[in-house]
Amino acid sequence: AAMSRKRLQQLVDSLGRSAKHFNKSEVECLIRLFDTLVAESSNRFAAVGFDRNMFRDALHRAFGMTDDMIMDRVFRTFDRDNDSCISVVEWVEGLSIFLRGTLEERIKYCFEVYDLNGDGYISREEMFQMLKNSLLKQPSEEDPDEGIKDLVDIALKKMDYDHDGRLSFMDFEKAVRDENLLLEAFGPCLPDIK
């Protein structure tokens, strides 16, 4: 059930304003892509948008993402109204930052992805969980957790400017501005350059 021409035009106009990194024809393409993906899926949410699995498939197919925990966080970051479904508006606005965001926007986005419990800090435990999850297990290591604890310590040393044992948004932002490579310090949550 493709949307009407008029509805499409309205959507393109409003998203052309809110998703400011895309031009109108790009917005229109993304809306059509959304429609196609939704139509392919025989899902009960499909009228409204993507559920978690459809979104995960899209991330996997389009951007080669494989990390379930991170994809789940990306889903939550896109899903602004927390209804467990990504609407066409959330899709286009989310992709605008995901694909073309300014450094500022990407810092905010990555911080949100990494702040697992949404309390405004990336805690030691959260870092540990994400790093443990994204690193490959070396069968030889007796206690892989030790190495991960070391990495967490290193991350805190480098990024925790106010020395409170966790990363606030200000800590994270300052660290990434000094050293852009730290943007995805705790797991790949942005598409690679290609």
Write the CATH number for 11.
1.10.238.10
Whole-angstrom CA distances from 187 to 13, 71, 77, 122, 157 are: 34, 10, 15, 13, 18
Say if residue 96 is in the same domain as residue 26: yes
Let me know if residue 91 belongs to a domain.
yes
Q: Which domain holds residue 132?
A: 104-182
Q: What is the DSSP letter of 86?
A: B
Domain boundary among 77, 101, 125: 101
Q: What is the DSSP letter of 180?
A: G
Closest-CA residue to 79 (of 29, 184, 71) = 71
CB atoms within 10 A of CB 4: 9
Name the token pair of 135: 């690193």
SS3 94: helix
**Residue 1: per-residue pLDDT:** 46
Long-range contacts of 149-154 (CB under 8 A, 24+ apart): 151/127, 152/124, 152/127, 152/128
**pLDDT tens, the chain, 194 aa long:** 456 888 889 999 999 999 989 999 999 999 999 988 888 776 555 557 888 999 999 899 888 888 899 999 999 999 999 999 999 999 999 999 999 999 999 999 999 999 999 999 999 999 999 998 877 666 666 677 888 999 999 999 999 999 999 999 999 999 999 999 999 999 999 987 65
Domain boundary among 101, 116, 144: 101
**Residue 138: per-residue pLDDT:** 63
Question: pTM to 2 decimals?
Answer: 0.88
Region at 106 (left for phi over 0; alpha for psi -120 to 50; beta for the rest): alpha
92 contacts: CB under 8 Å, gap ≥ 6: 15, 19, 22, 27, 30, 31, 34
Say if residue 117 is in the same domain as residue 82: no
Owner of token pair 């499409």: 8
Taking the C-alpha atoms of residue 171 and residue 156, their distance in angstroms, rounded to an integer, is: 10
Taking the C-alpha atoms of residue 129 and residue 127, their distance in angstroms, rounded to an integer, is: 5
